[in-house]
Amino acid sequence: MISLCLVLFFTGTLAAPTTHTQSPLQHFKSIVRRQVTALWPTVDTDGDGHFEVNDMHHILGDYDADHDQKVSEQEFIARFAHNEPDLNVIAQGLFFEFDMNRDGFITVSDLDLYYQKIDTNDNGHVEKEEFVHYFTEIFTILYVIQLNQTTTPSSAAAPGGR
């Protein structure tokens, strides 16, 4: 679900020119927002306008390679970035987002807590705007981290800093 969204906008969508009224970051966020919005019909499976807590549980089925009812960081990264190794940093960041109790695994309990986190109006349902806003912010942050990881020279900085 989420990895498909990332692959879509990382493979060519960013080539669109920015407008004079948008900074590069604003332009990027608008692209992410469009892609996350396009993802909505796949997560709102019954079309009721809500992303339900049970929809979060599909992550276990999709990512739990050894079927032990928990997803390790290795399982998550391998599944998330299997076609795009350049997404490893984003996958790792998203894993840390989902692992709410920081025990190194994503479980049903973590997913239920994460659902509560993205239900920003605390009404027990995640509406489209909550979903789009939350994941636009998360993917933007993770992409900026990814860019920093891939554009920072691997050699140590000169003595005394930059």
Tell me whether residue 139 is in a domain: yes
pLDDT score of 4: 42
Q: Which residues sit opposite 51 in a β-bridge? A: 126
d(CA 30, CA 36): 10
d(CA 36, CA 110): 22
Count of domains forming the chain: 1
* AA letter at 66: D
Per-residue pLDDT of 104-141, as tens digits, reads 999 999 999 999 999 999 998 899 999 999 999 998 89
pLDDT score of 133: 92
Tell me whether residue 19 is in a domain: no
For residue 130, give the 3-state DSSP assignment. helix
Tell me whether residue 116 is in a domain: yes
pLDDT score of 7: 44
Q: Which domain holds residue 139?
A: 25-151
Per-residue pLDDT of 24-81, as tens digits, reads 888 888 888 898 898 888 888 778 888 888 888 888 888 999 999 999 999 999 998 8
| Whether the predicted pLDDT of 8 surpasses 70 | no
We report the CATH number of the domain holding residue 132 as: 1.10.238
Helices (H), 70-107: 73-80, 88-98
